[in-house]
Structure 1
Amino acid sequence: MSTHTETALESFDADWQEWHTAHERHRAHPHGFLAVTHLHWLDSSARRLDGVPGTWSAVDDAVRIVLEAGESLQRDGQELNTGSGATIELGSIEERGGINLASGDTVIEVAKRGGEYIVRPRNPENALLREYQGTPAYSPDAAYAVRGTFVPFEAPRPTTVGAAVEGIRHVYEAPGEIRFKLAGRELALTAFNGHAPGSLAVLFTDQTSGKTTYAANRSLSVVPAADGSVELDFNRAINLPCAYTDLATCPLPPAENRLPVAIEAGEKIPYERQDPK
């Protein structure tokens, strides 16, 4: 192996390690998804919820909260309680959107998933977060960083997928597919619009799923160049929250994204979900 090649591989490994360390730090944020203590689904019945103050309901596409004397909720640092029996109304939240409220050390996520409103308190003392041991991953391998091409559909396709929570369906807009070659095979992945402007997200499973990697899904974010070229670095394939907690509503990959090859790269099954044998 030439010195130039060795240097390139060392740089590839170092870049991956820096990325992985930063991602682990983000995952273990005091109010990240590892801190979620409950998942509450709201309906028109007003009721108290474990882990949060007040009485909650969802009526006419709005969340209503009634706080009693001594109960406190803040939004953007502003106190919401104006007295005993005060009613707070949170206007419509878009699908997959959400807002955060605060009560003491707890951040309270109010969001819409599958057309329904949910409440998820996040407390830094949650056992899942305190006992988190990190996520194992395959050693970086440049063979799993491949070039592909983003091919837009004639029109974006609304794509319905299942969820980690039974009975919930997610609808994503798929602007196109990414075509690439791996292990001598021509493959393609349907891509959804990503969180960052210009980015795409691909959800997939492969022949390692349920063996060394999480069974339900993994995710990879990519940014196509102006000419449609894409770098698919599967070393940066990550687990979604449902790999760690049953209090997540993560989407499942579309059927066509079940790859017939083993992607021995990226994040593996979390330690707490490993088979103890």
Structure 2
Amino acid sequence: MTLPASTPDTDTDTVTQARWTAVSSAHGIAALRHTHWLDAEARAYDGAPGTWRAVDGDVVGAGLQADAPEAPVDDVVLAPGDHLDVGGVRLKAISREGAPALRVFDPETPGRTRLRSILSFPRNDEWALPGVFRPAAAGEINVIRSVDGYEREEPAVGTISLEIDGAPVELTVTGDPAEGLSAVIADATSNVDAYRFRFLEIDAPAADGAVTVDFNQAYLPPCAFSDHYVCPLPPANNRLAVRVEAGERTTRLA
């Protein structure tokens, strides 16, 4: 088995060591092999030792022994966000609007063992653009659609107005304006030179709404590394007609 390098193996990459570690470590983002949505019936699932079921929003496993010697052999209860290491794999509980799932992170999954680097566009400070944040009206709702077709509603946060190549753009953003915002974007590089969409973190706007949108901070979503994530898709107005040649763009596999 060939494991990912401890650092990206091409000198054109700008990914930080912390980012690379988060993606490529034994139980990192790229190690996700399965996401199993559970119900009340205990059953075996691919890649997960023992049997698993949902109980009151938690993930409950039986018939397994954790890697830690002091771990129990009876029922294991994982609340959303909890994890347990068993036989080299990491089992993690998640919840989507109260529906619990079990994720299996396996160091041997090809998405991790074949990963060699995260390719990025060269940094270009011209892609750090001024904008203005406008809060959403009270009661406004956004519909968030995920890659698996699931839709949910959440209170709208607002938009950022800016210009790209002289054309006006209104980016729908999420997050807390006092702490920082984020957006899911696609552009003319998507499915050509880059993954089909990317995530973008944006610093908190000033009191007057002024904000800098630095597209150099765009990064690949988890589903660029594994098909078993359920990432949100870009809303229509975040699908840009121009090429945004900034930030992370795709993975390189062996």
Q: Provide TM-score, normalisation by structure 1.
A: 0.77
Q: Highest Rg: 1 or 2?
A: 1
Aligned residue for 2:49, secondary structure, equals coil
Residues 209-246 of structure 1 deviation map (CA, whole Å, 9 limit, x = unaligned): 1111212x211011224322222111121110112221
- Shift of the alpha carbon at 1:170? 3.9
Partner of residue 4, structure 2: none
Contact 2:94 2:101 in 1 (8 A): yes
- Shift of the alpha carbon at 1:252? 0.6
- Shift of the alpha carbon at 1:115? 4.2
Partner of residue 235, structure 1: 216
Whole-angstrom CA distance in 2 between matches of 1:234 and 1:210: 18
Measured on the aligned residues, the alpha-carbon RMSD in Å equals 2.7
Contact 2:59 2:102 in 1 (8 A): no
Aligned residue for 2:230, secondary structure, equals coil
Residues 90-121 of structure 1 deviation map (CA, whole Å, 9 limit, x = unaligned): 45x4xxxx221221432211101354221111
Partner of residue 10, structure 2: none
Aligned residue for 1:203, secondary structure, equals strand
Whole-angstrom CA distance in 2 between matches of 1:149 and 1:253: 20
For the structure 1 residues 241 and 55, does the alpha-carbon distance in structure 2 shift closer, same or farther, using more than 3 Å as the test? Answer: same
Partner of residue 226, structure 1: 206
Gaps of 5+ in 2: 1-12
Query: % of aligned pairs identical?
Result: 30
Kindly indicate which of the two structures has a greater share of residues assigned to strand: 2
* 1:24 paired to 2:25: no
Contact 1:155 1:175 in 2 (8 A): no
Whole-angstrom CA distance in 2 between matches of 1:73 and 1:176: 44
Whole-angstrom CA distance in 2 between matches of 1:256 and 1:115: 29
Question: How many pairs align?
Answer: 242
Partner of residue 73, structure 1: 66
For the structure 1 residues 99 and 269, does the alpha-carbon distance in structure 2 shift closer, same or farther, using more than 3 Å as the test? Answer: same
* 1:204 paired to 2:185: yes
Contact 2:221 2:231 in 1 (8 A): yes
Contact 1:207 1:262 in 2 (8 A): yes
- Shift of the alpha carbon at 1:54? 2.0
Q: Provide TM-score, normalisation by structure 2.
A: 0.84
Whole-angstrom CA distance in 2 between matches of 1:21 and 1:59: 39
